[in-house]
Amino acid sequence: MASTIRCDIVSAEAEIFHGEAELVVATGEQGELGIAPKHAPLITRLKPGKVVVTLPGGEKLDFAVSGGILEVQPQVVTVLADTAVRAQDIDEAAVRAAMEEAQRVLSNKDPKMSVEEAQSQLAMSLAQLSALERLRQNMKH
């Protein structure tokens, strides 16, 4: 049996995932991080992007996060996300609409939100679409 580490992914709204993992990959401020069992303790900020959890047996679960904190302890890796969503729960039409709205704001065509809010919304939309695309690719195999 492969060694595992407990993984918890939580957002302000809910616990998104709780279980054992062989590997957790997330995008930190300094780049992509791979957390395996017996990883050294660590705490870092997360950029908007995806978190991929490899379950015992090799199945991969994809999550999109809007940022947050990743903490690694000897027996657990915790993702404290601002917002997080499972790939299979993503509403593609809503994400595309949010992405278009953010792009309008960034091109100074729509004053509904600040540039910072638009950039954050665009980053989260791209992360969600990436997670959705990976889910579709996994379903083909």
**pLDDT of 26-53, one tens digit each?**
989 888 999 999 999 999 999 888 899 9
What is the spatial distance between Cα 129 and Cα 141, in angstroms, rounded to a whole number?
19
User: Does residue 23 sit in helix, strand or coil?
Assistant: strand
- Contacting residues for 22 by C-beta, under 8 A, at least 6 apart: 2, 3, 4, 5, 36, 37, 54, 55, 56, 58
pLDDT digits (tens, 9 = 90+) for 80-136: 998 888 867 767 777 777 778 777 777 775 566 677 777 777 777 777 777 667 666
State the pTM of this model.
0.70
pLDDT digits (tens, 9 = 90+) for 70-93: 999 989 999 999 888 886 776 777
